[in-house]
Amino acid sequence: MGLERVQQVRLAADLHPQFPVITVGGTNGKGSVCAMLEAILSEAGYRVGCYTSPHLLRFNERIRIHRQEAPDEAICAAFSAIESARQMHQTSLTYFEVGTLAAMWLFIRQSVEVAILEVGLGGRLDAVNAFDPDCAVVTSIDLDHQDYLGNTRGAIGLEKIGIFRKHKPAVCAEPEIPFIVRQHMQEMGANLFLLNEHFSYQSEDLCWHYQGHHRQDCNLPLPALNGACQLQNASAVLATLEAMEAKLPVAQDCIRRGLERVSLTGRFQQIAINPAVVVDVAHNPGAVRQLAANLNAAVPDGQTIAVVAMLKDKDIVSTIRELVGSVDCWVVAGLEVSRGASAKEMQVALRQAGIDHKCLIGVFSNVSLAYAYACDYANENDRICVFGSFHTVGAVLEVFAAINR
């Protein structure tokens, strides 16, 4: 792992953005922060390029310009340009590295006025870090990708803040920053915007308030994304806009419209009723802890039935354990990808997490079969919750789309 190869190809492809770049990292909440930034800046009239990952159904979802997915032809042209630059150095690039460089190639040629880049994994050695951000955001610090980033929140946090730059705004919405991370932040010399120190938020029933360095926004509409965690994410967004105010001024009415109109697939998203079907890409203990809180905030008249499939390199047992007490019945499935856990491995993990075997009502080789069974099993007062991976949610969304064509 490293940025040397990416930097070589970036220079060969002449990728030198002349517009502000906002880089967003963190364990959970990255997609939500990117979506809210994209919505608000678009409402303010800026031509926004947004690069996120992974996708659910189409690669095109990863590269958006002016809130539209890049078309196939444009993406292929970008791939071709990056491949030509790669061949100049006879070096290798990963799938994600090619996608990152291709996205920036498109943003430059489409004359975007600001680019939002979501970190894929970690931060310090992630491909998006080949581009110096004008503002960097870390949404949260929790356990995930331990094989790559370390086994403690401190070690993981050090990788996350690798996207910060000296004398540039650096926003961190993690409320419990590990000591070693805080110490390193201060040594880096970035202009820090820390939650509960430099900015804060307060929730009310139908609105919320933001208090920052030198601005206060009261009676803001709740974000149109489900989940209590979205106010923490939204506060990071407003801190970012405050930090970038000189380069990207945004009126408060644009903030309000952006919060009201933001959308993001697969984040505690209800896709059906009677029975209710909720899909969530949560795939680590921290994210599923928030999923449990969201489920507990609105308990259905009937049962909650979980459909879960995960990648085998995740902490499956600890992740499932977060939903003990919030789920009545479980349906497990295998993921038909190279990193996917098998149905048998999911069944074993369920037992290790302390789930009573009587609560396991189905074991299936793939997500489509598991989801179909849950739908047959559920009555109209029940709730089906699909979670565990982007692959899991993507499979269900594909089935749902086919049914509703």
Ranges in the chain annotated CATH 3.40.1190.10:
4-261
Residue 241 phi, psi (nearest 5): -65, -35
Q: Give domain 4-261's CATH architecture.
A: 3-Layer(aba) Sandwich (3.40)
Check residue 300 and give its pLDDT: 94
pLDDT of residue 30: 95
* 3-class state of residue 120 by DSSP: coil
Query: How large is the average pLDDT for residues 365-392?
Result: 97
Protein fold of 269-403: Protein-Tyrosine Phosphatase; Chain A (3.90.190)
**What distance in Å separates the CA atoms of residue 394 and residue 250, rounded to the nearest whole number?**
34
Q: How far apart are CA 149 and CA 129, in angstroms?
A: 16
Mean pLDDT of 153-162: 94
Task: Please write the tens of the pLDDT for every residue from 230-289.
Answer: 999 999 999 999 999 999 999 999 999 999 999 999 999 999 999 999 999 999 999 999
Least confident of 23-32, 144-153, 250-259, 320-329: 144-153
Supply the pLDDT for residue 193.
97
Say whether pLDDT at 404 is over 90. no
Q: Is the model's pLDDT at 123 over the cut of 70?
A: yes
All residues at 6 or more sequence positions from 63 whose CB lies less than 8 Å from its CB, including other chains:
49, 50, 51, 69, 70, 75, 99, 102, 103, 106
Residue type, 79: F
Q: Where in the chain is the domain with CATH 3.90.190.20?
A: 269-403
Print burial letters for 235-248: b (CB count within 10 Å at least 16), e (below 16).
bbbbbbbbbbeeeb
Task: Kindly report each contact of residues 320-324 with a partner whose C-beta sits within 8 Å and lies 24 or more positions away, as own/partner.
Answer: 320/288, 320/349, 320/350, 320/353, 320/355, 321/285, 321/353, 321/354, 322/285, 322/288, 322/289, 322/291, 322/292, 323/288, 323/291, 323/292, 323/295, 324/353, 324/354, 324/355
Beta bridge partners of 220: 208
Listed residue (122, 134, 119) closest to 24, CA to CA: 119
Residue 310 is which amino acid?
M
pLDDT over 80 (residue 307): yes
Bridge pairing between strands 135-138 and 169-172: parallel
Cβ-Cβ contacts under 8 Å for 187 (sequence gap 6 or more): none
pLDDT tens readout for residues 285-294: 999 999 999 9
State how far the Cα of 236 lies from the Cα of 231, in Å rounded to an integer: 9
Q: Could you tell me which residues come within 8 angstroms of residue 318 by beta carbon, excluding any fewer than 6 positions away?
A: 143, 285, 353
Q: Is the pTM of this model over 0.85?
A: yes
The strands making up 360-364's β-sheet, listed across from edge to edge, are: 269-272, 276-280, 383-387, 304-308, 329-333, 360-364
Q: Which of 109-113, 218-222, 297-301, 400-404 has the lowest mean pLDDT?
A: 400-404
